[in-house]
Amino acid sequence: MRCQTLMLFPLFALGACGDRPADPRGVEHDETLLSVSATGRSETRPDEARFTAGVSTIAASAEEATRRNNETMTKVTEALKSFGVAAKDLQTRQLTVNRIDWGANKGKYEAVNQVEVRMRAVDKAGEAVAATTQAGANVLSGPTLRVSDQEAATKSAYAAAYRAARARAEAYAGAAGLKIDRVLVIRDGGDRAPPMPYYEMDAAANQAAPQTAAAPPFNPGVSESQVSVRVDFALSEK
């Protein structure tokens, strides 16, 4: 019995040493892991424009400032409706009445009403902005040009990002005398939106709306979507 025990123990030990644990990264023992990051871009023409139009009114009393502001703001919203802007595409962003405690208008009251406008007819955005100023809007910001279906717009960017990662991996593998055996993991790095333009008129200096205002030049151009991806490849010998 003692001899059998001494003979079986070495065999058990050898078997344990030969059972190597699996690599948690997914590569086999004869493979090399390569992680590659890349970006992809796509260009899409915007199909909606958003801008903020508002009215700032200064008067001797809060009641007078509010009354005059409401009258002017009604004209602004009516002007937008003439361009097909539905009620659901108008969202109030600011509605305030404050006493002015400094400057030339000290002791008076300022009423401010601003709405965010969603223009689905992008080619008419410039005309709509001009129409709001003619109606009395004196606080403007934007426009922000957007693609309504952002996911669809970035599909080609995803494909471009993966192709770039694959090409980079093939270059690394070739330089090392290896080849791509398989893809282990694809990680979405998300998207990054480009900066949006912004401008604002001086409300206090523009109490009176201009009698006529030509539509400003408006060029929608294209919106660029950029996404990033990280891909883990398993490399093996050729």
Q: What is the pLDDT of residues 132-172, one digit of tens each?
A: 999 999 999 988 888 888 787 788 899 999 999 999 999 99
Alpha-helix residue ranges (DSSP H) falling in the chain:
2-18, 62-81, 125-135, 150-153, 155-175
Of 106 and 149, more confident: 106
Q: Span 200-222, mean pLDDT? A: 51
- Cβ contacts of residue 20 below 8 Å, gap of 6+? 29
What are residue 197's phi and psi, to 5 degrees? -70, 155
- Which residue range is the domain that position 160 belongs to? 22-44+150-193+224-238
Does any domain span residue 31?
yes
Does any domain span residue 217?
no
Amino acid identity at 80: L
Does any domain span residue 13?
no
Cα 78 from Cα 132, distance rounded (Å): 9
CATH number assigned to the domain comprising residue 115: 3.30.70.2970
Q: Could you tell me if 80 and 64 lie in one domain? A: yes
Cα 148 from Cα 229, distance rounded (Å): 23
Q: Could you tell me if 107 and 169 lie in one domain? A: no
Q: Could you tell me if 180 and 160 lie in one domain? A: yes
Q: Could you tell me if 122 and 136 lie in one domain? A: yes
What are residue 147's phi and psi, to 5 degrees? -105, 120
Q: Could you tell me if 81 and 32 lie in one domain? A: no
pLDDT at 46: 86
Q: Could you tell me if 155 and 233 lie in one domain? A: yes
Does any domain span residue 27?
yes
pTM, 2 dp: 0.59
Does any domain span residue 215?
no
Q: Which of 108, 127, 146 is the last residue of a domain?
A: 146
Task: Tally the domains of the chain.
Answer: 2
Does any domain span residue 12?
no
Query: Position of tokens 């109490």?
Result: 207
